[in-house]
């Protein structure tokens, strides 16, 4: 840990602590993890921008079917490349301490592939495909599944899930907060 201290001033750490769900120690630890992804680059410039392929080396992201999508959502340049601050944001949202509402907000953005602020059929189909790959559900099963999801959650019957509807499901889902977690 002592090594990391030199890279941040006390003020910066305080800022990060105020703006994330982490304590200062955890922030330094997160930085270590970030550094481990590309030691030479980050050693040089602590806020270096890592390409998405590097960020995806992070164990939890590597195996996550939504890994790329997560990088894109949190990347400040929208192309999946992440600076340390983006990484910290990501970890903060995925931490235990982040409230359900914050997690829901980001989950919605992750699942919303086309970025139209609605989870439409296309988005849902993509989510299911990523979840079950390499197998694929047959067209009939997929149709059936999507219909079931919409029956359950689409309260206003417009054929897509709005954020409010999504949040409602997540609120009722006993598992969501447990599952949407990456421990540092």
Residues 38-97 that bind other proteins (CB under 8 A): 59-60, 62-66, 74, 76, 78, 85-86, 88-89, 92, 94, 97
Q: Which of 6, 10, 18, 39 binds other proteins (CB under 8 A)?
A: 18
Of the two residues 48 and 128, which places its CB atom closer to other proteins in the complex?
A: 128
Contact segment (CB under 8 A) with other proteins among 1-9, 12-20, 30-38, 49-57 equals 12-20
Place of tokens 């990391």: 4
Contact segment (CB under 8 A) with other proteins among 1-9, 32-40, 49-57, 171-179 equals 171-179
Encode the chain in three state secondary structure. Answer: CHHHHCCCCHHHHHHHHHHCCCCHHHHHHHHHHHHHHCHHHHHHCCCCCECHHHHCCCHHHHHCCCHHHHHHHHCCCCCCCECHHHHHHHHHHHCCCCCHHHHHHHHHHHHCCCCCCCECHHHHHHHHHHHHCCCCCCHHHHHHHHHHHHHHHCCCCCCCECHHHHHHHHHHCCCHHHHCCCCC
- Determine if 180 is a binding residue for other proteins (CB under 8 A): yes
Of the two residues 35 and 166, which places its CB atom closer to other proteins in the complex?
A: 166
Of the two residues 40 and 85, which places its CB atom closer to other proteins in the complex?
A: 85
Nearest-approach distance from CB 132 to other proteins, in angstroms = 4
Nearest-approach distance from CB 73 to other proteins, in angstroms = 9
- Determine if 37 is a binding residue for other proteins (CB under 8 A): no
Total residues contacting other proteins by CB under 8 A comes to 85
Q: Give dist(CA 18, CA 24) in Å, integer.
A: 10
């Amino acid at each position: 840990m002592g090594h990391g201290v030199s890279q941040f001033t006390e003020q910066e750490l305080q800022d990060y602590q105020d703006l994330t769900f982490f304590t200062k120690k955890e922030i330094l630890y997160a930085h270590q993890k970030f550094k481990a992804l590309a030691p030479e680059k980050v050693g040089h410039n602590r806020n270096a921008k890592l390409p998405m392929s590097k960020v995806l080396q992070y164990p939890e992201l590597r195996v996550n079917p939504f890994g790329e999508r997560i990088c894109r959502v949190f990347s400040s340049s929208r192309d999946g490349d992440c600076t340390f601050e983006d990484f910290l944001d990501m970890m903060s949202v995925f931490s235990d301490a982040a409230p359900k509402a914050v997690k829901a907000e980001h989950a919605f953005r992750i699942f919303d592939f086309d970025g139209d602020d609605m989870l439409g059929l296309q988005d849902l189909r993509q989510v299911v495909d990523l979840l079950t790959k390499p197998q694929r559900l047959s067209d009939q099963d997929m149709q059936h599944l999507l219909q079931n999801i919409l029956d359950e959650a689409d309260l206003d019957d417009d054929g897509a899930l709005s954020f409010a509807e999504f949040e409602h499901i997540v609120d009722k889902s006993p598992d969501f907060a447990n599952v949407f977690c990456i421990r540092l």
